[in-house]
Amino acid sequence: MKKNSVCILTETDLNNYGNRLQNVALSLFLEKRFNVVCKTLWPIIPPSLYHKIGYISRSIVAYLKIHLLKRNKFELVRHQKFVFFNRNIRKNWSLLMPFRSLAIANNHFDSFVVGSDQVFSDQFGIPDVLASLSFAPVAKRFTYAASIGNNPLSIDKYRLVCQELSHFHAISVRERKSVEDIKKYTSSKISVNVDPAFLLTKDEWRSLCEGKISAKTKDIAKNPYLLVYWLGDETSEIKQIIKNRARCLGLSIVTLRTNSTDSENTYIDSGPYDFVYLMDHASFVVSKSFHGTVFALVFNKPFISFDPAFNSNSKQIKDNRLANLQNIFKLPISCFDLRNKENPKLDWAEINKIIVSEREKTFLYFAQNGFPKKDC
């Protein structure tokens, strides 16, 4: 039986662990549970000749900077590791070719899935002409765990999201708050589903990384450590709080960043495989990242997830994405209060039960909307 062809439209870059990992997770989950083959539209750029030329020019300049000038050896290693990881993802480059149109993409695929991650965000989202899937018939249009993010959408973006989503065959978002926002403009049924990173089991993540971890990363993980995954740099106060917690737990500190070597034991040359391995082997995780929190949950690691706008008095999480995780997995508020000296008490049996339930909910979302199941 011929497999249906599915095109995934999500953010594509070489600098974000969570984005790349959720992309491959959705692809692998769909191919495992359904009679489909997945490709990701790569790269995500508006399909005009002007933008294609611009993308190719920027790529050449970036290549020259990294490979010829060798201005930053860590950047070079990191880039190479992301390129290596992305070989897991079947890609469709057709729109990058001159004079190729969205109509051609429509002829190649049976379904289009927009998501996951912040695909509808003003700041991080994919181009409107692609996010809307207006080039495809309604029967082919799907979203999965699509996110608006934390920042309010502009009026124009709201109009696009809400008007176009009403023409989708099925709509799935990642945060419950998005349902409230979108329901103001459309009566379409909306499903709330977890980030694709939850769709693979711990063992499936380990199998994906097997044989691909650098000796340096394995050496880092030999001794017990507290893993810090931070976007940007911590303040001196935050650094001291983290040091105090690590000292109380009797752990060393290993820090993953994307753009800074500000602290000791900081690594910016780690690729996605290294990220998963270090999460899996950590004794405790402190994260200023949505996907850092997701992987702590996947691997059952006690964690603190830092929300810069967290209200210590009202104990209220301001980050919509983290608040959604707290609600789904019934997490104690102490998981988001970095200044609380007590370590969170987590019911991993209950959390794992919810993860399994959410995977089945995702399976039903696609199965009930026409994705062909594999023959038993």
Domain co-membership, 183 together with 215: no
Domain co-membership, 55 together with 166: yes
Residue 23: the pLDDT is 95
Confidence of residue 339 (pLDDT cuts 50, 70, 90): confident
Q: Is the peptide bond before 43 cis (omega within 30 degrees of 0)?
A: yes
CA 97 vs CA 9, 22, 64, 128: distances in Å: 17, 26, 22, 20
Domain co-membership, 89 together with 145: yes
Residue 266 belongs to a domain:
yes
Domain co-membership, 77 together with 172: yes
Domain co-membership, 110 together with 253: no
pLDDT surpasses 90 at 243: yes
Residue 12 belongs to a domain:
yes
pLDDT surpasses 80 at 311: no
Residue 104 belongs to a domain:
yes
Nearest partner of 297 among 331, 327, 273, judged by Cα: 331
Residue 373 belongs to a domain:
no
Cα separation, 141 vs 152, whole angstroms: 24
Domain co-membership, 116 together with 23: yes
Q: Read off the pLDDT of each residue in 280-307 and give the average, rounded to a whole number.
A: 96
Could you give the number of structural domains in the chain? Answer: 2
Residue 376 belongs to a domain:
no
Q: What is the pTM of this model?
A: 0.91
Range of the domain at 153: 4-198+356-367
pLDDT surpasses 80 at 156: no
How many CB atoms within 10 Å of residue 178? 22
Domain co-membership, 226 together with 363: no
Cα separation, 302 vs 321, whole angstroms: 19
Q: Residue 313 belongs to a domain with what CATH number?
A: 3.40.50
Residue 258 belongs to a domain:
yes
Domain co-membership, 326 together with 362: no
Residue 259: the pLDDT is 63
Domain co-membership, 181 together with 239: no
- Average predicted confidence (pLDDT) for the chain: 87
Half-sphere exposure of 366 toward its Cβ, with a 13 Å CA cutoff?
28
Residue 170: the pLDDT is 94
Domain co-membership, 233 together with 175: no
pLDDT surpasses 60 at 69: no
Domain co-membership, 86 together with 188: yes
Domain co-membership, 241 together with 269: yes
pLDDT surpasses 90 at 208: yes
Residue 374 belongs to a domain:
no
Residue 173: the pLDDT is 94
Q: Which of 32-36, 127-131, 264-268 has the highest mean pLDDT?
A: 32-36
Half-sphere exposure of 238 toward its Cβ, with a 13 Å CA cutoff?
18
Residue 189 belongs to a domain:
yes
